[in-house]
């Protein structure tokens, strides 16, 4: 695995790091790679192949913007009533994927109160 300059773009180096890890790991079961939203680019998704990954979708993507402003039927998390969620299936970058929107009721309330001030 290579090290990169702090000035190197994560959008380019994350995919390289994942491919490097895949070449040396011998997993006993399914491996999920977790990356921040800088990973989530059309090019990276197309080049991941049959790899499992989890990332936050940037709110700058049109499909995400629409989801964030839509009137959705959120479901309460059974394990923690402080959160609600909505899930949908999307194809982006030529890759079918599940998107999950998670809402923190406490954060929503906090943001609502800060806008009133």
The string of pLDDT tens digits covering residues 16-48 is 777 777 777 776 778 888 888 989 999 889 888
Q: Within 10 Å of residue 64's Cβ, how many Cβ atoms?
A: 19
Pair 35, 53: CB distance under 8 Å: yes
The burial class, CB within 10 Å (0-12 / 13-18 / 19+), for 13 is middle
The string of pLDDT tens digits covering residues 78-95 is 998 899 999 999 999 889
Band of residue 63 on the pLDDT scale cut at 50, 70, 90: very high
Entry pTM: 0.71
What are the domain boundaries of the chain? 1-56, 58-117
* Residue-level pLDDT at 18: 75
């Amino acid at each position: 695995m290579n090290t990169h300059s702090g000035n190197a773009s994560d959008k380019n180096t994350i995919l390289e790091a994942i491919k490097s890890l895949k070449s040396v790991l011998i997993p006993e079961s399914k491996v999920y790679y977790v990356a921040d939203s800088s990973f989530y680019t059309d090019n990276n998704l197309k080049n991941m192949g049959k790899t499992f990954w989890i990332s936050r979708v940037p709110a700058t993507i049109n499909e995400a913007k629409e989801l964030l402003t839509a009137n959705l039927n959120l479901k309460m998390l059974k394990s923690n009533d402080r959160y609600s969620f909505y899930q949908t299936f999307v194809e982006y970058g030529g890759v079918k994927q599940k998107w999950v929107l998670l809402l923190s009721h406490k954060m929503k309330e906090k943001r609502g109160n800060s806008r009133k001030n």
